[in-house]
Structure 1
Amino acid sequence: RMLLLTNITFDGIVYDPIRIMEEVLAIKPDMIFLWDEAWCAYARFSPILRRRTAMWSAAELRKRFADPKYRKQYEKWRSEFDAQDPSDDANWLDQQLLPDPDEARVRVYATHSTHKTLTALRQGSMIHVHDQDFEHHTRNAFNEAYMTHTSTSPNYQILASLDVGRRQVELEGHDMVGRSIELAMMLRERITADPLISKFFTVLAAKDMIHPEFRPSGLEEYFSDSDGWCRMDKAWLEDEFVLDPTRVTLHVGRTGLDGDTFKKLLMDRFDIQINKTSRNTVLFMIHIGMTRGTIAHLVNVLSEIAIDLNDKLDRWSQVELDVHQQRVYSLNEDLPPLPNFSRFHPAFLTSPDSTTPEGDLRRAFYRAYDDTACDHLKIEDGSLLQAVDAGGDEVVSAAFITPYPPGFPVLVPGQVVTREIVKYLMALDVKEIHGYETAFGMRVFTAAVVDMEDEKANGRMRLAQPVKNA
Structure 2
Amino acid sequence: MKPQARVLLVGDEPGLAGLVAALGAAAARRTDPFGLRFAVVADAAGALAEVARDGAVQTVLVDAAGGDAARELPARLKAFRPELSLYAIVPGRGGAGFDDAPLDGVFRRDAVDAAGWCRTLSAGLAEKSATPFYDALRRYVAMAKDSWHTPGHSGGDSFRGSPWVGDFHDFVGENLLRADLSVSVPTLDSLLAPTGVIARAQALAAEAFGARATFFVTNGSSTSNKVILQTLLAPGDVLLLDRNCHKSVHHGVILSGARPVYLPSTPNHRYGLFGPLPRRVILDAIDAHPKARALMLTSCTYDGLRYDLAPLVEAAHARGIKVVVDEAWYTHGRFHPALRPTALEAGADYVTHSTHKGLSALSQAAMVHVNDPGFDARLFRENFNMFASTSPQYALIASLDVARRQAVMEGYTLLSRALAFAAELRERIDATGVFRVLTLDDLVPAELAGDGVRLDPTKLTVDVTPSGLPAEAVRAALFGRFNIQVEKTTHNTITFLVSLGSTRAKLERLADALAQLARERRRAAPLRPLKLAPLPGISPLACLPRDAFFETGERVPLLVGQGSANPALLGRVSCDQVVPYPPGIPVLVPGQRIDAAALDYLARLVGGARPVEVHGLDAGADGATLRVLSADEERVRTEGSPEG
Q: Above 0.5 in TM-score?
A: yes
Aligned-partner SS, 1:56: coil
C-alpha spacing 1:169/1:435, structure 2 compared with 1 (3 Å): same
Query: 102, 122, 135: which is aligned to 2:363?
Result: 122
Aligned-partner SS, 1:294: helix
Matches of 1:457 and 1:10 in 2, distance apart?
A: 36
Partner of 1:282: 494
How far does residue 25 in structure 1 lie from its aligned partner after superposition?
1.8
Equivalent residue runs for 1:350-429 within 5 Å? 360-367=544-551, 369-370=552-553, 373-378=554-559, 381-384=562-565, 393-394=570-571, 396-415=573-592, 416-419=594-597, 421-422=601-602, 425=605, 429=610
Compute the TM-score of the two structures, normalised by the length of structure 2: 0.49
Equivalent residue runs for 1:236-251 within 5 Å? 239-251=451-463
User: What are the ranges of 5 or more consecutive residues in structure 1 without an aligned counterpart?
Assistant: 59-106, 217-238, 314-323, 350-359, 461-470
Aligned-partner SS, 1:260: helix
Aligned-partner SS, 1:295: helix
Q: Residue type of the partner of 2:425?
A: L
Aligned-partner SS, 2:370: strand
Matches of 1:396 and 1:457 in 2, distance apart?
A: 10
Matches of 1:168 and 1:174 in 2, distance apart?
A: 10
Q: Deviations over 1:3-40 (max 9, x none)?
A: 332211101110122111111122x22x2222211111
Partner of 2:314: 22
Residue 437 of structure 2 contacts residue 461 of structure 2 at CA under 8 Å; is this kept in 1? yes
How far does residue 401 in structure 1 lie from its aligned partner after superposition?
3.1
Equivalent residue runs for 1:285-304 within 5 Å? 285-304=497-516
How far does residue 379 in structure 1 lie from its aligned partner after superposition?
7.2
Q: Is the counterpart of residue 32 in structure 1 residue 322 in structure 2?
A: yes
Q: Residue type of the partner of 1:412?
A: V
Matches of 1:179 and 1:394 in 2, distance apart?
A: 55
Q: Residue type of the partner of 2:364?
A: Q
Residue 36 of structure 1 contacts residue 111 of structure 1 at CA under 8 Å; is this kept in 2? yes
Query: 164, 169, 174: which is aligned to 2:402?
Result: 164
Q: Residue type of the partner of 1:121?
A: L
Matches of 1:21 and 1:42 in 2, distance apart?
A: 21
Query: 440, 459, 464: which is aligned to 2:622?
Result: 440
Matches of 2:367 and 2:326 in 1, distance apart?
A: 11
Compute the TM-score of the two structures, normalised by the length of structure 1: 0.66
Residue 396 of structure 1 contacts residue 413 of structure 1 at CA under 8 Å; is this kept in 2? yes
User: What are the ranges of 5 or more consecutive residues in structure 2 without an aligned counterpart?
Assistant: 1-292
More helix by share: 1
Q: Residue type of the partner of 2:444?
A: I
Q: Residue type of the partner of 1:211?
A: P
How far does residue 183 in structure 1 lie from its aligned partner after superposition?
1.4
C-alpha spacing 1:453/1:204, structure 2 compared with 1 (3 Å): same
Equivalent residue runs for 1:302-341 within 5 Å? 302-310=514-522, 313=524, 328-329=527-528, 332=529, 334-341=530-537
How far does residue 44 in structure 1 lie from its aligned partner after superposition?
0.4
Residue 204 of structure 1 contacts residue 251 of structure 1 at CA under 8 Å; is this kept in 2? yes
How far does residue 439 in structure 1 lie from its aligned partner after superposition?
3.7
- Between the aligned residues of both structures, percent identity stands at 36
Partner of 1:54: 343
Query: 474, 481, 484: which is aligned to 1:262?
Result: 474
Q: Residue type of the partner of 1:5?
A: L
Partner of 2:540: 344
Query: 203, 208, 213: which is aligned to 2:442?
Result: 208
Q: Is the counterpart of residue 185 in structure 1 residue 419 in structure 2?
A: no
C-alpha spacing 1:439/1:397, structure 2 compared with 1 (3 Å): farther
Residue 339 of structure 1 contacts residue 424 of structure 1 at CA under 8 Å; is this kept in 2? no
Aligned-partner SS, 1:407: coil
C-alpha spacing 1:438/1:12, structure 2 compared with 1 (3 Å): farther
Matches of 2:485 and 2:380 in 1, distance apart?
A: 37
C-alpha spacing 1:381/1:364, structure 2 compared with 1 (3 Å): farther
How far does residue 395 in structure 1 lie from its aligned partner after superposition?
5.0
Q: Is the counterpart of residue 143 in structure 1 residue 381 in structure 2?
A: yes
Matches of 2:560 and 2:482 in 1, distance apart?
A: 36
Partner of 1:83: none
How far does residue 383 in structure 1 lie from its aligned partner after superposition?
3.4
Larger Rg: 2
Matches of 2:637 and 2:362 in 1, distance apart?
A: 48
Q: Deviations over 1:154-201 (max 9, x none)?
A: 33322222221111111111121122122112111111223xxx23x2
C-alpha spacing 1:309/1:445, structure 2 compared with 1 (3 Å): same
Indicate the RMSD between aligned Cα atoms, in angstroms.
2.8
C-alpha spacing 1:394/1:43, structure 2 compared with 1 (3 Å): same
Partner of 2:391: 153
How far does residue 258 in structure 1 lie from its aligned partner after superposition?
2.6
Partner of 1:453: 634
Aligned-partner SS, 2:638: helix
Matches of 1:379 and 1:435 in 2, distance apart?
A: 19
C-alpha spacing 1:344/1:454, structure 2 compared with 1 (3 Å): farther
